[in-house]
Amino acid sequence: MSDEHHEAEGDALPPRENLIADGGSAAGADDVTLDPWGSATVSDYRDLFEQFGIEEFDHILDEVPNPHYLMRRGVIFGHRDYSPVAERLREGGDAAVLSGFMPTGDPHIGHKMVFDEIIWHQEQGADAYGLIADLEAHAARGLSWAEIDEHTRSYLLSLLALGFDPEEGELYRQSTNREVQDLAFELGVKANFSEFQAIYGFDGETDVSHMQSVVTQMADILYPQLEEPKPTVIPVGPDQDPHVRLARDLAARMRYFKVTEAFASFEATAEERVLMREAYEQLGGDDADVRCEDAAEHLDQHHAAEVGAERAIEKLANAGKEPLRPRVRFLDRNATPEAFDALIEAVEGEKRVFDEHVDAFDLDHEAAEELSREVEVENGGFGFYPPSSIYHRFMTGLTGGKMSSSVPASHISLLDDPEDGYQKVKSATTGGRETAELQRELGGEADKCPVYELYAYLLAGDDDEFATEVYEECVGGERLCGGCKEQAAELMRDFLEEHQEKRAEMEAVLDDLDLELESPRRG
């Protein structure tokens, strides 16, 4: 979950009228497992929608109040379950944002995207958390604590300089947050090595501390909900998606109750429930006395070849004349006896109580979820919402290909001398044609240009009109690479000068925070 951008590449973005992510122009996605610690590129973002269930952000953009320019331009291209967070931001309800940073080097312009995403959510009213993943850096990267301390200070200074409000948000280190470590221990009860092996490729050579750092990251992701459950978003690159998926699973496993749809006393899978609902509605629904055996006959005649039909028909037939009626089911997952009794008492209207579940006939699914969470929290449980996530494209290296911290010319550190930043942009690869004449005739290839990417991701700021102007002048042949790079280089120099001045101002602010900047650990 700690965000690292120096080992991946992406495609530059088109302008205002085409600001949504289009999957890029690369030939295809890497046929690899997403690896939070590896160097795999994600060159065709569209494949992530199908392979890993990431949803297109464009589909919910209209739900987001005052969307950040990274959202408007398609830099933020995907999400998992972001709608509950967007709803809270619109309506002024409680929400949170958290992301982490592994202090393995200087913060750079790739990290700035995540800093900006945290800060924007804080400005929209969300509780904001920024963490230093120092346990992960030590376990997974082998950094000494002295190195970690140096980089920790640098990351926090840049986050503060860009606008994070420490009075309204929380900054912490994994290694000094006892609540996170205690939560990690509890979450570890719900995880096992086989799962880590399947998700991360861990094997018999994997350090135990590395595995422990994963559970700590799960605790980080759920930490904003310790005092009160609330929709929480984790802004990350797509390489961090395995962490988000595991955190969502663990959040569900920690819940006292699982809320599902049901139609009879027996359990059914999601596919079987779809078929049962169809049968119920086709046989008259609320206006008819529908029996399970009638539904079995209907499915056998009309849907026998569909997924789950054979087992659904068998279950319905075995239930015979039992009424088939939609209901909400509360399944006992981890509830204490007191919590289960409290749930029974809290369910109003018609209900049926079984040994391990309660069926409610007068509640919809949303109301049932809130009721189960309320009962859980009142009886000592966490009541976690499954954490949401948003995913941003990776920045292409200035030299083309990967932006790598091991290749200084490929990236710009937020600590670079402004003149060095100027020169790196001036030396950057472009999407221009071989000659000025061809550029004027054919136009430039802004979609493949790292310099245009700098405008879209950073240099144009909130000015969509400027970003669009640069793009259209490039592809229309009016803008030549020399002048374009000169303008970008000057803007980069100005940005670095201003940012570093603000970093200097934040030194005193950081020192005044209740934050242990020098670790007492050895190693």
- Tell me how far CA of residue 25 lies from CA of 44, 79, 393, 428, in angstroms: 7, 21, 13, 20
Q: DSSP assignment, residue 99?
A: E
Q: Which two tokens stand for residue 149?
A: 């301390």
Domains 16-23+35-254+385-392 and 408-512 share a fold: no
> What is the block-wise mean pLDDT of the chain (523 residues), using blocks of 10 residues?
48 42 29 42 63 88 96 94 98 96 90 96 98 91 90 96 97 96 96 88 86 92 98 93 94 97 95 96 92 96 93 97 96 96 97 96 96 98 98 87 72 95 93 86 88 94 94 92 95 98 98 90 75
Q: In this structure, are strands 232-236 and 96-101 parallel, antiparallel, or unpaired?
A: parallel
The residue extents of the domains of the chain are 16-23+35-254+385-392, 258-378, 408-512
Fold of 408-512: Tyrosyl-Transfer RNA Synthetase (1.10.240)
DSSP labels for 455-468? IIIIITTT-HHHHH
Architecture of domain 16-23+35-254+385-392: 3-Layer(aba) Sandwich (3.40)
pLDDT of residue 406: 61
* DSSP secondary structure string for all residues of 194-247: HHHHHHH---TTS-HHHHHHHHHHHHHHHGGGSSS---EEEEE-GGGHHHHHHH
Q: Which amino acid is at 436?
A: A
